[in-house]
Amino acid sequence: MAANKSARYGMVIDLDRCTGCGACMVACAIENNVPPANAKATERTGITWMRVHRLGNGRPFPDSRAVFFPILCQQCGHHTPCVAVCPQNAVEVDAATGIVDQMPQRCLGCRYCMAACPYHARYFNWWDPAWPAGMEKTLNPDVAPRMRGVVEKCNLCHGRLHRAESKAAAEGRRDIAANDYVPACVEACPAKAITFGDLADDQTEVAQLARSEGAFRLLEKLGTESKVYYRSERPWVHQAVKSGIGKEPQRG
Amino acid sequence: MKNYRGSILFVAGFAIALSAGWLAFPRAEYERQNQPIQFSHKVHRDKGGMKCEDCHAIRDDGTFSGIPAVDKCAGCHAAPMGTTDEEKRMIKRYIEPNREIPWLVYARQPENVRFSHAFHVKLAKLACERCHQAHGDSNSLPAFERDRVSGYSRDILGDPSLANAANRHPGMQMDDCIRCHQQRGVQDSCLACHK
Amino acid sequence: MDRSYIARGLERCTTRRFLMWLLPWTLLLAFGLYAAGLCLFKGLNQTNMDNRFAFGLWIFLDLTVIALGAGAFFTGFLVYILRMHELKAVINSAVVIGLVCYSGAVTVLMVDVGQPLRAWFTFWHPNVHSMLTEVTFCITCYLTVLAIEYLPLLLKNRRLRQVPSFLVFEFELHRVMYVLAGVGTFLSFFHQGSLGGLYGVLRGRPFAFREALGVWPSTFFLFVLSAAAVGPSFVLLTTWLVEKITGHQLVERTVMQKLGRLSGVLLIVYVLLKTIDTLVWMNRTVPGEGFSPQQFYGFEPFGVWILFAEIVVFGLLPAVVLLDARRRASQAWLLTAAGFACFGVALNRFVMTIQTLALPTLPFDRFLSYWPSWQEVGTFLAVVAYGVLVYSLSYRYLILFPQERDLKAR
Amino acid sequence: MGLGRRDLLKLVGGGAAGFFLTPVPWRLIDGVAIRTESWPGVPDPPRGEVRTRYTTCTLCPAACGVRARCVVDQPVSLAGVASHPASAGVLCPAGLCGHHLPLLPNRLRQALARKGDNFQPVGIDAVAGAVATALADMRQNGSAERVAVLDARPGRTASLMYRRWLRAAPNGTYLLAPSAEATAPMGIDIARTGTVLSFGAPVLDGWGTPGRVLEARKTFRLIQVETRQSRTALLADGWLPIRPGTEAALALGIANVLIEEKLYDAAAARNASDFAAYAALAAQFPPQRAAQLTGIPAQTIIAAAHDFVGHGPAIAIAASDPGGGPLGEDEQIAIAALNVLSGSIGREGGFLPRGEASRPAGFEEAALAPEQGIAEVPDASIRVLIIDDARAAGTWCWSAIERKLAATHIVVAMTEFLEGAAQHADFAVPAPAYLEAGEDAPAPPDVPAAMFSLAGALLKPPPEAVDGAAFLNQVAGGGPALADVLKQRVAAIHASRRGEVFHYADASRTAVRDVKSAADLWKALEEGGCWIDHQPTPHEKPLFAILGDAPDRVLEAASGRLPADAQFPLALVPYGWRGAAGGAISPIMTKLYQESDLRPGGDTIELHPDTARKYGVADGHVAIVQTRCGSCQRRVRVDESVMPGVIQAEVGPSASGNCRPEALLNACGVAGDGTWRLARASLRRA
C-alpha cells in the first residue's frame, strides 16, 4: 500500500560534511528498536543498521587525513545480492518504493544473505534483544522488535513511511507528502550531511545531487545500482574508493 | 484369524489417532477466557444510538484508538443507566477506582503486523463488518480463545477448517488479507503490512 | 552373546571388545550433543561466527563431508547404471558412508541456522532462485533415498530375515534399486552442484563469484566433478581403514585399484577444467567487477601458494599417480594419492567458504580472522562420533563387504 | 491371549499412520514456528496514543530545543526543534538518547551516606541536618573555613539561588566547575564570522551550540590548532598539529607576524591600555622561535597569520576540553589577545556583548556571592562543599577539588547517579534526572543575544528526589522553591518587555510586549519555547588591559608548559567528547563505543606506530601509562594520525561499559593553576 507508486527512495551522503559524531547511529537504533549491545558483543557481533566507518588516506602524521563513511543498506536496485539468495523469500525489493525489505518473521537465520552482501549492511541477532529493566517502555510502537537468530538491516525507517502513509490516509490522500517521510538518520544528522528523497523524480534535490560532480557509489562496478550515493570534493577520497581493498586496516 | 488380528489392531490404532486428532485436539488447542465484564454492542447501538466510530475512532495522525479507555465509559456510566448487575459491577470495579478494563481483544494482531484502519476505512471505504462481521450487532461478548501453541487469538490465527458453528468465522488471518488484496489488485511488499 | 545377530561365516570381535570400541565414541557423541545443545538453547552467540564471518567451520565441513559422501551416489551410479559389477564389493559400504555424511551434514545445518523451528519455511515458501533452496530440497530428498537404499542392508540382518514379510519387502526393494540409484544420482548430482553454486553466485564476493554457464555458475559443475572424483577415493580410504582396524581383508585389491583409477580419470578432467575456470576468473570476471586478482592474494597467510596447492599438489599430482598403473599397484602410492585427492577437495571447499569471507570488499574493511569456538568443534565431533558408531554397528551386524566371506574362506 | 510385542507395534503403527492424517502435526509445527515471533526473549513496545511534547535539553550548556515523541506520557524518541534560534533543529548523540537517562538501572533513588569505602541509605533530613550542624558550628566559633557550592551548570536560576544563599552563609563561596563552559558576557556572531582560529576547541564536535555552528560552517574558514587529529581538525580548512602545551607560543608568534606586518586593527588596539607591553611580548616570538617551540614550520605560522585576518571578521577561540579540562589562564590571555588584533571584539561576526534574562528582585549581583574559579580558593579551606550536579562533574580531576577541602569537611553531591564526583562525597542526595526537573536553561555560552528557556518536566521524578534549592532550603529551614523563583523570573522578563518568544511547536515568534500576562509567557515557555533578547546591548569600547596583571606569567606559559623529562619522555594528552565524557550515558551509546569503534573510548590510548614500536607495544596490547602522579592501564590502539611522542587518551565510556576516568585524570595531576591538560608520561607493556 506504499504511496507514491514506483518511487525510488535513496540518499546522498556528503562525506565532506560528516563529522563522524554518531548521531545517525544512535537515532537509528532508537527509531528501529535496536537493542543496546550484549555485554559480550563486539564491533563484529553488534547491530548497527547505520554504521559510521573511518577511512584514512594511509599516510603518516602529519599528512594523515581521514573521512567518515556512514554505511547503511545500500538499497541495491539491480542484481540485489541478498534477494536472490534467501531460500524462503524473506527479502525482496518493494516495487513501490525501491526499498529492500527484510522480513525478520520469515527469516530462518541461515545468514546466506550476509555472506552475499558486499556492503556488510546486514546484521544477525546473536542474542535475545534485551533492554535494561523498565526501558522497554521507551520502544518505538511503529517497529516490531526482532527475535534472536534472525537477520535484520536498514529499511529506510519503514515505520516512518507507515506513519506518513497513515497520516496521508487520515487526510484522505494516497500520496504522502515528501517531508512527512524522512528516515531517522537523515533527521538526526547535526551536520545536515544526508539528503534523502525520491531518486526517480528528477526534480528532487537528492536526484540532482546524485548526478552532481563528485558523487559516487560504492562498488559501482558490481552493477548493483545501489540507491545510496556519496559525494566528496577531496580527490584522495575518490582515489581510496577506486583503489578498493588491499590497504592498511582502517578504524571506525 | 491371526492375520486378521494384526490388521484389526492396526485399524484400531488408526481410528483412535484420527478421532483424537480431529475431535479432541481442536478443543484442546484453544484456551478460553471470559471477558472481564459483559458488553452489548447491540444495546449501545440501538438504545444508545451510537455508531462504531463514536468509540473506535481514527485519530488525526491516522492511528486507530482501538478500544476506548475507561474514562470514555465513565462519560455515560458514572452512575448506572440501566438495571443490569453487569453494569453495576463495571462501575464498582473499574469506573469508581478509575481502573482500565483489561479487555481481551479478539482482533489484536501480532506485534509485527501493521494494519492501518485509516487506509481501509477512509481510502478503501470498507465497512467495519467486512472484517469484524456482525460483531457490532452482538448482544454479548463470546469467550476469548487463545491458541495455546502460537499464543495468538483464534480470530487472527484460527484454522478455518476447524471453525465450527460455535465460533466466529476467523476473517483476519494473513491469508484473508492477501485474498482481499488480490481481488482488489493491491500489490504489496511484506513490509507494507508488517513492521 | 550377540552372535545370533551376526551374519553366518563372518568373523567379528567379542561383544566386550566391541563395546570397548564404542565407548569412547559414545562419550564423544555425548559431549558433542551437549555443545550443540548450548548452541540451540542459548543461541549462536555460543559460536565464534559474527556478522562478517556469517559462515564458519560448520558450512566448510558440511561442504567437505558431502563431497566425500559423494562416493555413495557415484558408486551406485557405476554399479547400477553403468553396470560395473566388480564395484558391488564396496557399494554397501559406500551407501552407509553416504547416509552418515548426509544425515550428519543436515543435523549440523539445523544447529547452524538461527531459527531451526522455522526451517520448514523453505519448503512452504521456497525461493526458487536461491541455491540454498536447491540444496535443501535435494539433500533432504537424497537423504530419504539413502535411507531406502540402506533398508535392504538392514533387512538382510540375520535376525530380521526371520520375519517373512520383511524378506518379501527386501526383495521388492532390490528390484527398484536401479531406479533409486538413478534418482539418487540425479538428486545428488544437483545438490553437489548447487553447493558449488552457493558461493559461485555471490556477485558481491568477487573472490567467489563465477560467471554463469546456462543458469549455473561454473562452480556448480566443478563441484559435481570434484565430488565424483574424490568419492571413490574416500570409499577406498575407508575400506582400507576398516581392513586395518578389523584385520580382515574385505575386498579384492583389484577393486581398490579400480576405484583409484576412476578417481584419477575424473580428477585429471577436474584439474583441467578448474585451471581453465581460474584463468577465466582472473582475466575476465574479477576485472569486470573492478578488482584485480592480486588483491585477493595479498593477505597473509592466504597467498598464491594456496591456489598452487589446491590445483597442483593436491590435484594434478594425485591424478597423475592414480592414472599410472604401476604406481597404483603399490598400496602406499594408491592410498597416499587417494588421501591427497580428498584433501585437495577439502582445501577447495575451505577456500570457497572461509577465504571468501575473510577477504575485505570495501576500502575500510579489514582482512578478518576467525577461529571456531569449542561449541562449534564439539558439535562437529558429535557428527564424526555418530558416523563412526553407525558405521561400526552396520559393519558388525550387516554385510557391508560381500567379498569378505569368500576372501576369508581362502 | 494377551497383547504381544508385535501386536503393540501394530497398534502404534496404525496410530502413527492415522496421526499424520489429522491436523495435529501441521498445526503444531506451524504454531511453534509462529510462537518464535513472540517468545519470551522479545519485548512488547507500549501501545497508546502518540503525542508530541516539547522541552529544552539541559545535558550540556547548548540548551537545544527538544521535540519529544511520547506514547501517552512516556518519551520514546527525542529530536531537535526546527529553526530553533540556538540549536537549529539539531541534537547531539547524547541528547538523542537523553530520555533513557531517567530509566537507567543505576539510578540513585535515595540519599546515601558514606561508611568507610561504601555507602548506606540515610534520610535526606539527616543529610541536611549534618550540613546545618556544620554551619552552626562554623558560625559559633567564627571559623575562617568556607561553605561552598560547586556548580557544574552555572547560569541557571538555581545558580542565582545558590549564590544568594551563600551570601548569607559563613564565608559562602560559589565555585564554577573547573571545566564548565563559562557563561561569558560575550556571545559569538558565528553566522557572520569569516575565520575561526581555534586553539583545541572542538568546534565541530560539541562546542557552543552545535546546530548553530555547523549551520554556519559553510560560511566561515576554520583553522584548527591541536595536537590531536580531532574530528574538528579533520574537517578544518587548515590543521596546525602543535606540540603539546605550546599554544601560547603560537598565539604570540601569530601576533608577532600581525604586528610586524601591520595587519592588525589599529583602532581596536588603541583601546588596549597595555598594547605596547603586549607588542613587546609578541616581539620576543618571531616565527622562527615560535616554530622551534610549537613544532610548526615558520612559513606555516606566517601563512596562518595571513589566513587569520585575510577573510573578514576573524575570531580566535580557546575552549576547555570536555575531558582534558581547561587551558591555562595565561594561555587563554595570549590567545584572547589575538581578538584585539583582529578587532573582532564588539563587532559583527566577532564577539558581541550581551545582557542576560532579567532577574527577579532580590537577585541583583550585589546580593549574591561572586563567581569564583576553584583555583582562586586557598587550599584546605572548604569545610562544607555541596556539588550540583555531580553527574556533569564526571570528568573533573578530583584531586583539584580535594586539595581545597579542610581537614574536617562534609561533601554533599546532588546527583542522579552514584558517579563522577559523587563517588568521593560523604553524602549523595538523589536529584531529579533530565526530563524530570522543571528548571530553566541559561543562554548557551556562544549565542550573541541573551536567551532564556524553560526545561519543562516531561516525567515525574522519583519521590525521594530533591533539587539543590529545595535541599538548601531544608538546611536553612525555609526559603523559596525553585519553581516560584522561576515564575518570578519569567514575570521579570515579561515586565522588561524586551525581546520575543520562539515557540517550538510551530517555529513562530511573538514579541514579549504582545504577550498578555506573565502567566501567558510562562505557559508559552513551559509548553516549549525560549525567550530571545533582540535589542543589542549598547556597549562602549572601554580601555582594558590585554595581559591583565600577568605579562610575565604569559611569557612563562608561552615558553612551553611541558619541560622535557628524561624519566617521562612522552606527552600524555587526555581528551573527551562533551556528549559522553561525564558520567552516566544511555546504554544505546554502545553503538558508538562497543558495536563500532567510531570513538576510541575510555579504556584505550592511541599511539603513533613509531612510538608504539619504540616502547615495545602493538595494537591490542594492554599498556601501563606512568606519570609522576599516578598510572593507569589501557589498551593500545596504533593510529598513524597520532603525533609521535604523544599518548592520546580519551576520557569517556569504555567498550567494557565501566566508565572510570579517575585513574587517568589523577595520573595527569593538577598544575598550580588548576589545569591537568598535559602531563609527562612513560609507557610500558602490562
Q: Give residue-wise pLDDT tens across range D335-394.
A: 999 999 999 988 889 998 888 899 999 999 999 999 988 888 999 999 999 998 877 666
List the one residue out of D83, D84, D79 whose CA is nearest residue D97: D79
Q: Is 60 exceeded by the pLDDT of residue B63? A: yes
Chain B CB contacts of A97 under 8 Å are 189
Q: In Å, how far is A165's CA from the nearest CA of chain C?
A: 28
The answer, for D36 touching chain C at a CB cutoff of 8 Å, is yes
Dist CA D651 CA D580 (whole Å): 9
- Neighbour-count burial for B116-140, b at 16+ CB within 10 Å, e otherwise: bbbbbbbbeeeebeebbbebbeeee
Phi, psi of A69 (to 5 degrees): -120, 95
Residues 6 or more apart whose Cβ sits within 8 Å of residue C154: C160, C398
Which chains pack against B, by 3+ Cβ pairs within 8 A? A, D
Is B in contact with D (3 or more beta carbon pairs below 8 Å)? yes
Among A30, A137, A191, the residue with its CB nearest the CB of D214 is: A191
Backbone torsion region of residue D232, taken as left when φ is above 0, otherwise alpha when ψ lies between -120 and 50, otherwise beta? alpha
- Lowest-confidence pick of C98-112, C361-375, D631-645, D654-668: D654-668
Q: In Å, how far is D89's CA from the nearest CA of chain B?
A: 22
Chain B CB contacts of D12 under 8 Å are 13
Whether the CB-CB separation of C342 and C237 falls below 8 Å is answered with yes
Dist CA D456 CA D459 (whole Å): 9
- pLDDT at position C3 is 80
pLDDT band, very low/low/confident/very high, at A5 (cuts 50, 70, 90): low
Dist CA C364 CA A54 (whole Å): 7
Handedness of CA D279, D280, D281, D283 (dihedral sign): positive
Whether the CB-CB separation of D188 and D446 falls below 8 Å is answered with yes
Q: In Å, how far is A124's CA from the nearest CA of chain B?
A: 18
Give D250 or B179, the one with higher predicted confidence: D250
- pLDDT at position B164 is 46
Interface of A with B in 145-174 (CB under 8 A): 145, 155, 158-159, 162-163, 165-170, 172, 174
- pLDDT at position B130 is 84
Chain A CB contacts of C356 under 8 Å are 115
Chain B CB contacts of D13 under 8 Å are 10, 13
Q: Is 90 exceeded by the pLDDT of residue A35? A: yes
Chain B CB contacts of D21 under 8 Å are 17-18, 21
Dist CA B139 CA B129 (whole Å): 15
Could you tell me what percent of chain D has a pLDDT over 90? 66
Is A in contact with D (3 or more beta carbon pairs below 8 Å)? yes
Q: Do A166 and B61 touch (CB under 8 A)?
A: yes
Q: Do C298 and A54 touch (CB under 8 A)?
A: no
- pLDDT at position D431 is 94
Beta bridge partners of residue B183, listed in sequence order = none
Dist CA C145 CA D485 (whole Å): 86
The secondary element (H helix, E strand) that includes residue D199 is: strand D195-199
Dist CA B185 CA B168 (whole Å): 27
The answer, for D21 touching chain C at a CB cutoff of 8 Å, is no
Residue type, C64: T
What are D625's three cell numbers? 601509562
- pLDDT at position D182 is 61
Q: Do B11 and D14 touch (CB under 8 A)?
A: yes
CB pairs under 8 A between A and D: 198
The stretches in chain C having pLDDT less than 70 are 1
- pLDDT at position B161 is 54
Chain B CB contacts of D16 under 8 Å are 13, 17
Dist CA C146 CA C137 (whole Å): 14
- pLDDT at position D545 is 82
- pLDDT at position A216 is 96
Q: In Å, how far is D658's CA from the nearest CA of chain A?
A: 11
Chain D CB contacts of A146 under 8 Å are 42
Is B in contact with A (3 or more beta carbon pairs below 8 Å)? yes
Pick the CATH number of A21-194 from 3.30.70.100, 1.10.3720.10, 3.40.50.170, 3.30.70.20: 3.30.70.20
Q: Please give the sequence-ordered ranges of beta strands (E in DSSP) within C237-310, or none if there are none.
A: none
Handedness of CA C335, C337, C340, C342 (dihedral sign): negative
Dist CA D286 CA D252 (whole Å): 8
Dist CA D413 CA D419 (whole Å): 10
Q: Do A139 and D234 touch (CB under 8 A)?
A: no
pLDDT band, very low/low/confident/very high, at A4 (cuts 50, 70, 90): very low
- pLDDT at position D97 is 94
Beta bridge partners of residue A151, listed in sequence order = A124
The answer, for A25 touching chain D at a CB cutoff of 8 Å, is yes
The answer, for B193 touching chain A at a CB cutoff of 8 Å, is yes
Dist CA D545 CA D274 (whole Å): 5
pLDDT band, very low/low/confident/very high, at A47 (cuts 50, 70, 90): very high
Total-model pTM: 0.93
Residue type, C182: G
Chain A CB contacts of D217 under 8 Å are 17, 191
Whether the CB-CB separation of A50 and A72 falls below 8 Å is answered with yes
CB pairs under 8 A between A and C: 181
Q: By three-state DSSP, how is residue A229 classified?
A: strand
Dist CA D671 CA D331 (whole Å): 14
The answer, for C118 touching chain D at a CB cutoff of 8 Å, is yes
The answer, for D462 touching chain A at a CB cutoff of 8 Å, is no
pLDDT digits (tens, 9 = 90+) for A195-238: 999 999 999 999 999 999 999 999 998 999 999 999 999 999 99
